[in-house]
Amino acid sequence: MIISACMLGVILGFTFSKTPPKVTKVSLGKMLFFDPILSEDSTISCSSCHKPEFAFADTSAFSKGVHGRLGTRNAPSAMNMSSREAFFWDGRAATLEQQALGPIENPVEMNLPIETALKRLNRNKRYRSLFFTVFKTYPNKQNLTAAIAAFERTLETSATPNDRWLNDEPGGLTDQQVRGRDIFRVKGKCFECHFTPDFTADEFRNIGLFNGKNHNDSGRYLITHNPADIGKMKVPGLRNVAITAPYMHDGSFKTLRQVIDYYDNPHATMPDGINRDSILSQPLHLTEQDKQDLEAFLNSLTDDRFVKK
């Protein structure tokens, strides 16, 4: 009997008629995001700190880089980045492509000079061929960061009760969440800084967590050297915030309730906060019910894929 290629495929458990999945900029970027090849000792990938199951954020205040080194800032979610105009807490990168170079070279993160990273990828037959298929050039700084950024731009979330409520679709906000939304917009003044569909316009604001002593990350000031920027951080988006604890640039709040208690009366927690935004100069006087409602609203920003059934 003559065994055709097709029959052989059936015997071996695959079919020749199926073409292998086509590599794209996005699928290549995804592979790189999860591959420790971009770190000095090949132990750390982007996903070590931006964990997919926690909306691509980290659960520790400070993430571990190569050799167990700790940074000084909390890893934010790498989701919902496509509308951002500035990256990092201090906004020092202007594009996602530029951002991606930061962690690869950062001594406390992946600690790999970009030239070494490119040499490694070019020595790796598989990557060399995949890059060529996608870009018609071998791995270089531009196509490496273009691939990673393209993958990150696919990490958008919009299947949430709040989005459905806004679109008048079933499965929207509960009555309590609607009350919480009102607190968010009016009494809590949250909307003054957390607006737009992602709850940030990438502005730099100071909520009072800098005192120049034990809280001494001066944030935006490190980039601009403008004294008015001391203690300002990029306003973080709030999509999926219920699963991205701990919170703030230093991961100093463990729960959303702690965040809400802070905003209710910032002075009580940080009496020596320098340069605090004037919006936060008076206590909010939220009732216990207000706080619970506000937290319920923040819980409505979680994408369905992260909701445990």
- How many residues can be counted in the chain? 309
Tokens of 234: 């990029």
With binding defined as CB under 6 A, does residue 81 bind ligand HEC?
Answer: yes
Q: Which of 9, 36, 52, 71 binds ligand HEC (CB under 6 A)?
A: 71
With binding defined as CB under 6 A, does residue 146 bind ligand HEC?
Answer: no
Of 9 and 191, CB closest to ligand HEC: 191
Of 146 and 294, CB closest to ligand HEC: 294
Region binding ligand HEC by CB under 6 A among candidate stretches 20-28, 127-135, 156-164, 242-250? 242-250
- 256-to-2, 247, 274 alpha-carbon distances in Å: 68, 8, 23
With binding defined as CB under 6 A, does residue 262 bind ligand HEC?
Answer: no
Q: Which of 209, 230, 242, 301 binds ligand HEC (CB under 6 A)?
A: 209
State in angstroms the smallest separation of the CB of 167 from ligand HEC. 23
* 297 vs 182: CA distance, rounded Å: 9
With binding defined as CB under 6 A, does residue 277 bind ligand HEC?
Answer: yes
* 294 vs 287: CA distance, rounded Å: 11
Residues 22-51 contacting ligand HEC, CB under 6 A: 33, 38, 44, 46, 48-50
- Other Cβ atoms within 10 Å of 33 Cβ, number: 21
With binding defined as CB under 6 A, does residue 240 bind ligand HEC?
Answer: no
Q: Which of 53, 192, 272, 304 binds ligand HEC (CB under 6 A)?
A: 192
Contacts of 212 (CB under 8 A, 6+ apart): 218, 274
With binding defined as CB under 6 A, does residue 201 bind ligand HEC?
Answer: no
Of 173 and 260, CB closest to ligand HEC: 260
* 230 vs 27: CA distance, rounded Å: 40
* 224 vs 216: CA distance, rounded Å: 16
Contacts of 307 (CB under 8 A, 6+ apart): none
Cis peptide before 246 (omega within 30 of 0): yes
Q: Are residues 245 and 256 in contact, defined by beta-carbon separation less than 8 angstroms? A: yes
Instruction: Note the residues at the interface with ligand HEC (CB under 6 A).
Output: 33, 38, 44, 46, 48-50, 63, 65, 71, 73, 75-76, 78, 81, 87-89, 99-100, 103-104, 109-110, 148, 152, 188-190, 192-194, 205, 207, 209, 233, 235-236, 238, 241, 244, 247-249, 256, 259-260, 263, 277, 279-280, 294
